[in-house]
Amino acid sequence: MSVPTAPALLDAVAEFLAAIEPKLAGRSAFHAKVAANVLRIVARELVQHPDVVEAAAYAELLGPGATAADVCAQLRDGRLDERTPGLLDALIAATAARLAVDNPRYATLARLTEAR
């Protein structure tokens, strides 16, 4: 007997909430919709690991351990700009990884991933 994965369990609960949401009214319906969306986001995050993708993109740009805060700081103080080799690729990779989790139907996501 196989044990369901955490993402599969989260998806099952999200589907349940989506199924009962039309039977609810007002605030309860809204909260059921929000809860189902949150569960789907968490399930995608467990599968896709956007933090790992983001860390790899920034590490390739600035070195091991680099974070979004490091990139932002270097952009602010002028050490990085649009001419910096690899900057746009790193930003696109990090952004696409987050969008794929947060809102996979976002129209620009397809363009970002096709551009890579």
pLDDT, tens only, 11-60: 999 999 999 999 999 999 999 999 999 999 999 999 999 999 999 999 99
Closest to 50 in 3D by CA, of 5, 4, 113: 113
Residues 29 and 56 both lie in one domain: no
Tell whether pTM > 0.85. Answer: no
Both 44 and 54 in one domain: the answer is: no
Answer yes or no: do 80 and 92 share one domain: yes
Q: Report whether pLDDT(113) > 80.
A: no
Q: Both 95 and 116 in a single domain?
A: yes
Taken in order 42, 48, 54, 59, the sign of the CA dihedral is positive
Both 101 and 54 in one domain: the answer is yes
What is the average pLDDT score of the chain? Answer: 93
**According to the model, what pLDDT value does residue 1 have?**
67
Exposed / middle / buried, residue 60 (Cβ in 10 Å: 0-12, 13-18, 19+)? middle
Show the domain range for 69. 49-116
113 & 69 share domain: yes
Q: Does 91 score more than 70 pLDDT?
A: yes
Query: So what's the pLDDT on residue 115?
Result: 60
Residue 30 CA to residue 25 CA, distance in Å, equals: 8
Instruction: State the total domains in the chain.
Output: 2
